[in-house]
Structure 1
């Protein structure tokens, strides 16, 4: 029986939409990839215990860990406690510590499971930052915690540093001091201000070429401590400019949720690895595509991955920082959680027309694992909005 829903459009009208997608089969065992692929994973709130979702959101740890097992089963590494987990937008440092601790323990119970953990300065508010020493101390606390727990760090971009730094040299000083101390190699994180407006002018300049020179200098100064850099500017030309100038042995991880398909495939000489929030939402399709790419089946890779790109562009449309709502919406539609609520009530950051567009695009990209469940849940959301 075909499934039909009346979905809203931007002009206020309703029109019938008939689902046509086919669920993506799961692999019998985690596949091997020819690219390093991190999925940045979301957290599941617990509405039964959530009395203060904006100030102290409750987390459903069982469902949160179950989702990580879902990602590991598809061959992904996990980028833990990153932006997708609502760092600085619902999940504070105390919550991130618990998430990191639990995920590292869970990974040790799964053969082959791997993850890297976001370490930043979000316990230090920009308005309370008096000096670069404050920023260094905040980074030391977080990276020290990750490494003490047996984890590897992704050195997240810092709102406090963006507020306190006066020049590119300040960035070189802070990053140099932290990287000098790290026990393991880390992944740096270049996050554009479309993801976080407080990061405008990061690396000491609003000009891309000047910022690029600074970040390359930091990498060159600390090459033995940098595994790679994740770049999230939603601009493939800028990512390629960075990728082409990285020293040998330093990896480029795409965080471009608009252009990841072409960046991962590469140009025949160079390619990007991946550290992506969209992989949370399209994990089965991305896993299948990456496995095909590893076999050299580039046409089949494109056929699977490219239909997910319009969906990703919709989820990450401006204001981009609210993309987490679309990611969790799809987790709910696909049965990974029993409700559509988020830490800080972030599900309200997008409107019903946006969610209807995601629903259509997810169906067209074969992202709806159980179309009957997805249709039922979408109908319940429409009713909540009086539609």
Structure 2
């Protein structure tokens, strides 16, 4: 039975196709998948098994307790593996993935993300819904932040995600509420690419409120869902640090737009630093609780950024083709021109706009609505407006 906090993810026939590994036979792949289900056999121990059995993963799976002890598995790990192995049928695991049209990518495959491959403890097996594209493997920036986002946090996240997409950068995030959601949605809305990294198997979407977003990412053809966790694994708390490690591992750098002192975003930033990746942070108000973590990152050496150019130039990304700019709408009348001149990137409440403009309330309200539809302004919550350019 699915809990209230989870949603099952089914992939439609048109949203993705199942592809076996390009470097392994189906029989070999089945055993790689089976090992990924075994708690206690992580990247280090799995590599030990591959080395001992000369990449014959089927022999490693079927090995006797004595042979496994010779590999170097301690007794506790050995006993746990034997107990779990008895309940796992490799061929059945492959069938389940095939039914859901989930792609499996292993260390052996050419399309294993090269940035992720470089990180310590890279997962041997990745599960993917949707199709990775070449730029997803080369030009990627992680965007992370708080779940309890302020209007400022939303504005900053949309600003950076939108401009990164214009630079043909793939946005990587964790499908969480708040900053993650805004980063994914903005990428989709702007016609860009996005990768959502999950802390559970792809047959479960967490949080459940983002089920339709996850489906849109796949069905639109604009991105993928990706995880190192096999089917059936629930989003337990201990899985999220591993998820965060993959977000940073997939990315050239990680941008933190808004985050309190103790949050998953800070864990992701620390993972990025441990992997030798760049960390970027947007300065926040010193009085905002939701910005304490970001400002602390800045004090500890994160790169301060106020526009996407800061990130691209620091990473020396100058060869990425820029998407064509859409023509900007112009104000249609004097009232709109007056309001546009008053607005900046700093949020202003509609009451203040009415007071400063001296225009009638209904005139300002109607004009702002039309201007928002035309992309000139944006309401960022609580009747506060900003210019979009």
Larger relative helix fraction: 1
Same fold (TM over 0.5): no
Which structure has more RCO (C-alpha within 8 Å, separation ≥ 6)?
A: 1
- Structure 1-normalised TM-score? 0.27
- The structure with the larger Rg is 2
